């Protein structure tokens, strides 16, 4: 990095700096060798699929040759696959651009985006609130604490597919939910009932994850701080808002970030529980469900959709990190030192 400006800038004494620079250079080289295998692996398992998907997203899906009835390669598509999803542009039989009709997957994009964000906001909010409460319970010392901790963790240990099937039976028309509350709600087909069925199942499943991450934060708070608060006569609520909450904030932020990224990719639970159905048929279709449906109808268009989904999640994560100042790495370092980030 020797530039013209560096010469002008008065630096620290030369010899010292050169010695340090040499050592640093060597360290950098060693570090580069050490991480090279990881970079190569990442390039193969992450870089390759992403780049392939992006390349494919600019190709048209194969069309039918009118005379032979055989599929032929679609050729370069430009941005039309993206316009198809974002602007709901479809072609009719004579090649004119029209708005995508209902029943075409393209017409479901904004609905799916809305559903995904709705699920994300509601489930993460619920899971954070309940998770914090669980964590505080688990952090207390009482008889049978191990049992309570294990019990709270059980839902997290069950595979999502099994969880989804479990709730599918609970929410079926003749299922436990309806007979317990003496209702006749169509949990998997009514618009809001199906959405809440997903939210309930997801909250049930993922709250333990939040609780566990928050518990890790709680355990780092020294007992003396609470003792001091008690001596000062602080109420329990005051203790919670001015001591517990600020001190678990770093752990909480990381947990929320993880959950948001997870929830934006939500696929298995709605896919099994409602099949993406409900309402007029797409009340619980998330972006990932839409991607999978499109994969079978046309791969290149699906690539465009998955790229869009990837960018949306990336932007959300970026905003979250920037606005709320979450820094996963720094937080973990701070936690190891037992200090506030």
Partner 1 sequence: MKAARLSAIAGMAIAGLVLAGCSSGSGGSGGTDASLTSHGPITYVQGKDNSNVVRPLIDKWNAAHPKEKVTFKEQSDQADQQHDDLVQNFQAKNKNYDVVDVDVVWTAEFAAKGWLQPLEGALAIKTTDLLPATVASATYGGKLYAAPQTSDGGILYYRSDLIKTPPTTWDELMSDCAVAKTAGIDCYAGQYAKYEGLTVNVAEAINTAGGTIVAKDGKTPTLNTPEAKKGLQRLVDAYKNGDIPSAAITYQEEQGRQAFEAGKLLFLRNWPYVYSLAKTDGSSTVKDTFGIAPLPGNGNGPGASSLGGHNAAISVYSQHKATAHDFIEFLESSETQKFFATQGSLAPVIESVYTDPTLVEKLPYLPVLLKSIKSAVPRPVSPFYPAVTTAVQDNAYAAIKGDVTVDKALTDMQAAISAASAGN
Binding site for partner 1 (CB under 8 A): 1, 28, 39-40, 42-44, 46-48, 50-52, 55, 60-64, 68-71, 74, 84, 90-93, 95, 98, 100-107, 172-174, 184, 186, 188-189, 275-277, 279-282, 293, 296-298, 301
Closest approach of partner 1 to the CB of residue 23, in Å: 16
Find, among 329, 317, 312, the residue nearest to 259 by Cα: 317
Instruction: Say how far apart CA 312 and CA 284 lie, in whole Å.
Output: 19
Cα separations in angstroms, 238 against 64, 98, 222, 235: 69, 59, 17, 5
Nearer residue to partner 1 within complex by CB, 132 or 303: 303
Closest approach of partner 1 to the CB of residue 159, in Å: 16
Find, among 281, 283, 268, the residue nearest to 166 by Cα: 268
Contact indicator for 127, 262 with CB cutoff of 8 Å: no
Contact indicator for 317, 228 with CB cutoff of 8 Å: no
Contact indicator for 63, 71 with CB cutoff of 8 Å: yes
Nearer residue to partner 1 within complex by CB, 285 or 326: 285
Contact indicator for 205, 152 with CB cutoff of 8 Å: no
Closest approach of partner 1 to the CB of residue 69, in Å: 4
Closest approach of partner 1 to the CB of residue 201, in Å: 16
Closest approach of partner 1 to the CB of residue 313, in Å: 18
Closest approach of partner 1 to the CB of residue 4, in Å: 17
Structure tokens at 198: 């997903």
Q: Can you name the residues that pair with 99 across neighbouring β-strands?
A: 89
The CA-to-CA distance between both ends of the chain, in Å, stands at: 32
Closest approach of partner 1 to the CB of residue 62, in Å: 8
Structure tokens at 70: 């055989």
Cα separations in angstroms, 55 against 58, 299, 306: 6, 12, 12
Nearer residue to partner 1 within complex by CB, 9 or 38: 38
Looking up tokens 């618009």 gives 191
Closest approach of partner 1 to the CB of residue 173, in Å: 4
Q: Which residues contact 130 (CB under 8 A, 6 or more apart)?
A: 203, 207, 210, 211
Nearer residue to partner 1 within complex by CB, 30 or 55: 55
Contact indicator for 149, 156 with CB cutoff of 8 Å: no
Nearer residue to partner 1 within complex by CB, 39 or 319: 39
Instruction: Say how far apart CA 184 and CA 34 lie, in whole Å.
Output: 61
Nearer residue to partner 1 within complex by CB, 72 or 228: 72
Nearer residue to partner 1 within complex by CB, 66 or 231: 66
Nearer residue to partner 1 within complex by CB, 85 or 209: 85
Q: Can you name the residues that pair with 90 across neighbouring β-strands?
A: 98
């Amino acid at each position: 990095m020797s530039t013209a400006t560096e010469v002008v800038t008065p630096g620290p004494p030369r010899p010292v700096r050169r010695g340090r620079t040499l050592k640093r250079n060597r360290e950098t080289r060693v570090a580069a060798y050490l991480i090279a295998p990881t970079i190569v692996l990442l390039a193969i398992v992450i870089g390759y699929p992403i780049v392939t998907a992006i390349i494919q997203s600019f190709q048209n899906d194969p069309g039918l040759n009118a005379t032979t009835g055989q599929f032929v390669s679609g050729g370069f598509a430009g941005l039309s696959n993206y316009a198809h999803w974002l602007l709901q542009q479809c072609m009719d039989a004579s090649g004119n651009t029209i708005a995508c009709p209902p029943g075409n997957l393209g017409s479901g994009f904004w609905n799916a985006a809305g559903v995904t964000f709705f699920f994300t906001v509601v489930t993460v909010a619920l899971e954070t609130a309940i998770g914090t409460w669980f964590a505080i319970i688990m952090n207390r010392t009482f008889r049978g604490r191990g049992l309570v901790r294990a019990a709270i963790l059980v839902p997290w240990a069950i595979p999502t597919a099994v969880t989804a099937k479990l709730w599918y039976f609970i929410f079926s028309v003749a299922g436990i939910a309806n007979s317990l509350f003496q209702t006749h709600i169509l949990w998997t087909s009514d618009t809001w009932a199906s959405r809440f069925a997903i939210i309930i199942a997801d909250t049930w499943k993922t709250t333990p994850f939040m609780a566990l991450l928050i518990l890790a934060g709680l355990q780092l708070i020294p007992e003396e701080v609470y003792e001091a608060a008690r001596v000062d006569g602080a109420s329990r609520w005051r203790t919670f808002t001015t001591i517990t909450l600020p001190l678990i904030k770093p752990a909480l932020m990381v947990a929320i970030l993880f959950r948001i990224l997870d929830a934006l990719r939500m696929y298995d639970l709605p896919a099994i529980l409602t099949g993406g159905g409900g309402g007029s048929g797409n009340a619980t279709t998330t972006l990932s469900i839409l991607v999978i449906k499109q994969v079978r109808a046309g791969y290149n268009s699906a690539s465009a959709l998955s790229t869009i989904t990837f960018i949306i999640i990336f932007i959300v994560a970026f905003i979250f990190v920037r606005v709320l100042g979450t820094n996963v790495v720094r937080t973990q370092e701070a936690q190891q030192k037992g200090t506030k980030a």
